[in-house]
Structure 1
Amino acid sequence: MGKDPTTDIADKLAHLRLSFRGKAEGELDQLSEVASKVTGGNQKQRLLREDVMSAYQLLHRLAGSAGTFGYTMLGAEARRLEQRLKPLTEQDASNGDTKLVVSAEERQKTVDTLVQAGRLRALLDEPVVPPIPSASNSEWLKGNHGLPVSDIHVVLCGLSEGSQVFLEYALSNYGFSVSRQEVTALSFSQAHLMSMVVTSEDRLSDVSSALDSLFGGDESLKPPLICVGRSDDFRARYVLADKGADALFHEPIDITMLAEGIERLVSEQSRTVSGKILILDDDEDLAEHYRAVLEAAGFIVRAISDPETVLSELSEFFPDIMLLDVLMGEYSGPTVAKLIRFDPEWVSLPIIYLSSEQDKQVQLDAMAKGADEFLTKPMSDSHLVRAAQIRCYRARQLNELLIRDSLTGLLKHSFIKQEVEKEHARCKRLSHCSVVAMLDLDHFKKVNDQHGHRTGDVVIKALASLLKRRLRSTDLIGRYGGEEFVVVLPECTTQEGQSVMNQICHAFSDQLFTNNGVSLSVTLSVGIASLSSFGSGSDALNAADQALYERKEAGRNGVTIFHQG
């Protein structure tokens, strides 16, 4: 039986906490030595700049890291003393004077501060409250997991008989699992199988209250709730939103829009927010702590402590976001951020500062040199994870805008071609069998000419939605141009690909589109080819295109496999 992940992360963090304590003992001994050196001199002896700077840097590190490892009193006291020394560290040193210019009163205050710093070692014996999640409060560590469409279970409740029959048939055709049930009669275990509830405006209050009771008011566990309503003014929408509705649709329901809404709402609730994070912090224990916590939350993390390696690490690791310490010995975090931006490739990389600096003006000045956000140490592990999730999600959103077609959300022409080449290289390297398919809507010009381009766009979006729902999460889908689509099916034979595409052709031909009271259906032609049978991905794509042409010549509405003559 495998080890419980929560126990595993707890062991890692406990080990890092012991490592921190060992280093902190040595640093606190250094503070004691500085205090003894200063108090051992006569009262007229001027303070050495290096002594004060050394004490300040040690206190700064403890202020930023002690709380993370459970030593909250030590961190708070180190921060208080650090702030008292900070004005002296900002004194102009351009004249090369090794001694600080202070009044007798300022000298005494500084000496008192250093003496107090020298006594901080006793705080290592305070009761430690390590920020390690227990099994009952570690949801942020577990992460959420996206659902394949066949696992999206839609419950229809409180709708008219006609609406329920229509929605059950139509949504099933999109690949959803659909049932008609009374939410108020479900057990706790049954309720947890629901991904989405669709109900009427009249029953919204009852259904929403039932969901609150079933899930104990936990909004993160409740399935999204779609309301089918009649009214559409601001006041009516406000009332529905206040009663718990997450979306509103009016009859007659546009099934394509409803299917997209279900997928979006379920995806937003269940998606895994992850990504690649590069951490640069000269405090190795703290960097490792952050790495362990973020990896447990589902991120891919690389932690480094040497600023001189950052450019090579960026090029090799290619992170979604970067966490950067502000003070790293002789190196400045803002300066490192600035030099990273020299390279156009990293201009859009989200950089988040990690620092115990609390001065808002200093934070703004630092951000002006190339960063996007400022997180103040110490921070809770859950806060760190949430901040990383938000930033990674936003970075992925921006990237999606660059590579996705605005109408369908599918990969653009150039990017799906890149994916075809990547999968071809993978087939050659691993001796796998994969398929590329070229799809084209039949008689699509007639749809645009007779029903208008708006209806044409609806048909294109409907096919894109169907493909996303019926294919695997590992399959790649792109809009090749106009009404043409390309699909890559990894680890799939041509016979398996033909079977899958035939199912999609049948499902799509069953969909009805309405324009000004006129209903129409559209069919689909597909040509497929084996990627491993060709010298390049583009050759395989051309073969699939040729098979598509043969399908068109043979009568459309079906699938043809490319066979070399």
Structure 2
Amino acid sequence: MAKGSSADIAVKLESLRQSFREKAVRDMDQLDEFLARMADRSLGAEEHRAVVKAMYHLLHRLSGSAGTFGLGALGSEARQLEQSLKPLIEPDQGTAPGTGPTPSVDDELTPEFFSRARQLRTFLEQTESASYESADDVLAEPVAARSEAAITVFLCDLPEAVGVFLEHTLTNHGFTVDRVEVSDLLNLSGEVCAGAFAVITHEASVASISSALQLLKRQYGISSPPLICTGSHNDFDSRYALAEMDADALFSEPLDVPLLAERIERLIDERSKAVPGKVLILDDDEDLARHYQLVLQEAGFEVHAISDPEKVLLVLADFRPDIMLLDVWMGNYSGVTIAKLIRFEPEWLSLPIIYLSSEKDRTIQLEALAQGGDEFMTKPVSDDYLVRAVQVRCYRARQLNQLVIRDSLTGLLKHSVIKQEIETEHARCLRMGHVSTVAMIDLDHFKQVNDRYGHRTGDHVIKALANLLRHRLRSTDLIGRYGGEEFVVVLPECTEGTAIDVLGKICNGFSEIQFATSEGEISVTLSAGVAELNAFKTANDALSAADEALYWRKTAGRDGVTAWHPQP
């Protein structure tokens, strides 16, 4: 994030701290009023219950939020006072928050409680760096998110013929390829190291290359980039020695480039875990919700924060978060009940819901989790811990989501998902007035490839095309496997002419890829049909037009791109 942006967020966070202090002063005034009413012996039973409950919620809110705004001592004292009131409003300690606690007047508050409650105001002046309690589980350090730029492959200390061969073939697969020496690796800039890159070397040079990569890792604080070896020694001892020197893979010569390209892609993905996601926050403390929002936005997340529980379903439908942070106590509303309500809708059954609460009772936490939540995060939460925790949970949520929406062979969007994306982009075109294009892509004579060389070869061809499309298209473009050897691409804000040019280059690049078979190397070509979404009333009509253009391309000789046009 730019320095100016970070400075702006720091100013906003300081403003929130001042706002919290002002609100805390008003809370102290209200607490004094509650204490005065509690001392009134003429107070009726129902009114007594209402005052106790209101006082409990005020202390509960302070105990959960004061530490976040640098008032840890205030939060700690409020927590102890809150615990003193808890038996009066939750006689059954096994009751989950929000299941309707009824204040009891059988127990009187002690003089010590009144004395400590009246002194709570003094803690407003004890500003400090809050000491936050860690969660029980230890979170791993987040890995830097993968850059949207193309993956760079450095070829280092390879035989000349192998280097020339890989430079040509991996470029056709969509990688940026550079042939370098070990000294060149040591001089890589921090910007390059922050991106996605891998190194391919000969088995004889692994030790020196591995040492160079370790130096880069320490110098720039990056994760270890994939180190892939080529060579002819394939016995156990040789492989063990390479693994001991931190190599990630060994490819025996002659090299199977499609498999090599797939392995590079997978290794890069495994190291790109902390992908920022979308976070929905529901907390009735507006200052606290805004604080969480600013901290997470600075870390790269897209965040929507609300304080009104009645808006949650509308926001969920519109924002579609990866995870949700949910306060447990929100005035007259219970976060546990809100979680149950959210689970009424089948599409939100898998949404990770994390409770934010100062509640420490394990039995109550477990009961709350059984009602619809997935995890507890105990307030106060430090900014650093909040960011790290959300990074890990967003990544895990997206991992699970990928299993649902992604094709297992290619990693591309499934048939139903890409069709929905076409609908979404078509609606956006109509709303915004820009031009977007949809394309149908098909592998030529693919049935013959499967029949003659086997389905394993066919799978390699399909995966190679998926990798090429990912590398050659923009990060905003949407790619799906429509079925078998058919693919669909949605190109937002892209004219028909530009789409033809881009897909034409992809066709040319793919035709140059060589696939190893039992009968020698083969190549496969592509055919594509394109249509502008804006030209049609519905997304399905546009997709049908692209499919018709693909058919025209097939009948005209395949291996190229054809645009749809009205028939005379």
TM bin (shorter chain): 0.7 to 0.9
| Counterpart Cα distance in 2 of 1:12 and 1:504 | 47
2:436 to 420, 434, 437: 434
| Counterpart Cα distance in 2 of 1:77 and 1:254 | 66
| Counterpart Cα distance in 1 of 2:89 and 2:241 | 58
| Counterpart Cα distance in 1 of 2:118 and 2:203 | 68
Segment drifting more, 273-282 vs 211-220? 211-220
Does 1:159 pair with 2:158?
Answer: yes
Q: Partner residue of 2:106?
A: 100
1:317 to 310, 316, 319: 319
Q: Partner residue of 1:274?
A: 276
Q: Partner residue of 1:23?
A: 23
SS in 1 for 2:117: helix
| Counterpart Cα distance in 2 of 1:97 and 1:532 | 62
Equivalent residues of 1:39, 1:111 under 8 A apart: no
**Pairing of 1:375-414 with structure 2 (within 5 A):** 375-414=377-416
Q: Partner residue of 2:79?
A: 79
SS in 1 for 2:78: helix
Q: Partner residue of 1:8?
A: 8
**Pairing of 1:122-271 with structure 2 (within 5 A):** 122-129=122-129, 144=145, 146-149=147-150, 152-186=151-185, 188=187, 190=189, 192-194=191-193, 195-216=197-218, 219-220=221-222, 222-228=224-230, 240=242, 243-269=245-271
| Counterpart Cα distance in 1 of 2:295 and 2:6 | 11
Equivalent residues of 1:141, 1:297 under 8 A apart: no
Q: Partner residue of 1:44?
A: none
| Counterpart Cα distance in 1 of 2:280 and 2:190 | 40
Q: Partner residue of 2:374?
A: 372
Equivalent residues of 1:226, 1:245 under 8 A apart: yes
- Summarize the Cα distance change of 1:464–1:142 in structure 2 as closer, same or farther, 3 Å threshold: closer
SS in 1 for 2:440: strand
> How far is 1:188 from its partner?
4.7
- Summarize the Cα distance change of 1:397–1:118 in structure 2 as closer, same or farther, 3 Å threshold: same
Equivalent residues of 1:63, 1:356 under 8 A apart: yes
The one-letter code matched in structure 1 to 2:405 is: I
| Counterpart Cα distance in 1 of 2:383 and 2:119 | 29
| Counterpart Cα distance in 1 of 2:107 and 2:129 | 42
Greater relative CO, 1 or 2 (CA 8 Å, sep 6+): 2
Q: Partner residue of 1:340?
A: 342
SS in 2 for 1:193: helix
> How far is 1:145 from its partner?
6.0
| Counterpart Cα distance in 2 of 1:129 and 1:81 | 22
> How far is 1:21 from its partner?
0.9
| Counterpart Cα distance in 2 of 1:400 and 1:121 | 50
The one-letter code matched in structure 2 to 1:15 is: S
2:530 to 528, 531, 536: 528
Cα deviations by residue, 1:427-484 (Å, 9 ceiling, x for unpaired) = 4444433333222212211111111112111111111111111112222222222222
> How far is 1:305 from its partner?
2.0
Segment drifting more, 389-398 vs 450-459? 389-398
Segment drifting more, 5-14 vs 545-554? 545-554
Equivalent residues of 2:325, 2:354 under 8 A apart: yes
2:304 to 302, 305, 311: 302
SS in 1 for 2:265: helix
Q: Partner residue of 2:515?
A: 513
| Counterpart Cα distance in 1 of 2:221 and 2:421 | 38
| Counterpart Cα distance in 2 of 1:475 and 1:3 | 30
> How far is 1:119 from its partner?
1.7
- Summarize the Cα distance change of 1:55–1:115 in structure 2 as closer, same or farther, 3 Å threshold: farther
> How far is 1:346 from its partner?
2.2
| Counterpart Cα distance in 2 of 1:505 and 1:522 | 10
- What is the number of equivalent residue pairs in this alignment? 543
| Counterpart Cα distance in 2 of 1:318 and 1:483 | 31
The one-letter code matched in structure 2 to 1:439 is: I
Equivalent residues of 2:88, 2:104 under 8 A apart: no
> How far is 1:549 from its partner?
2.5
| Counterpart Cα distance in 1 of 2:83 and 2:248 | 48
- Summarize the Cα distance change of 1:173–1:36 in structure 2 as closer, same or farther, 3 Å threshold: same
| Counterpart Cα distance in 2 of 1:525 and 1:263 | 25
> How far is 1:379 from its partner?
0.9
Segment drifting more, 32-41 vs 487-496? 32-41
The one-letter code matched in structure 1 to 2:148 is: L
> How far is 1:77 from its partner?
3.0
Equivalent residues of 1:147, 1:270 under 8 A apart: no
- Summarize the Cα distance change of 1:550–1:21 in structure 2 as closer, same or farther, 3 Å threshold: same
- Summarize the Cα distance change of 1:35–1:530 in structure 2 as closer, same or farther, 3 Å threshold: closer
SS in 1 for 2:10: helix
- Summarize the Cα distance change of 1:210–1:77 in structure 2 as closer, same or farther, 3 Å threshold: farther
Equivalent residues of 1:35, 1:115 under 8 A apart: no
> How far is 1:221 from its partner?
5.4
| Counterpart Cα distance in 2 of 1:235 and 1:9 | 55
- Summarize the Cα distance change of 1:59–1:543 in structure 2 as closer, same or farther, 3 Å threshold: closer
SS in 2 for 1:409: coil
Equivalent residues of 2:88, 2:105 under 8 A apart: no
The one-letter code matched in structure 2 to 1:112 is: E
Sequence identity (%): 57
Equivalent residues of 2:63, 2:74 under 8 A apart: yes
- Summarize the Cα distance change of 1:322–1:95 in structure 2 as closer, same or farther, 3 Å threshold: closer
Q: Partner residue of 2:135?
A: none
> How far is 1:60 from its partner?
2.0
| Counterpart Cα distance in 2 of 1:284 and 1:362 | 25
**TM-align CA RMSD:** 3.4
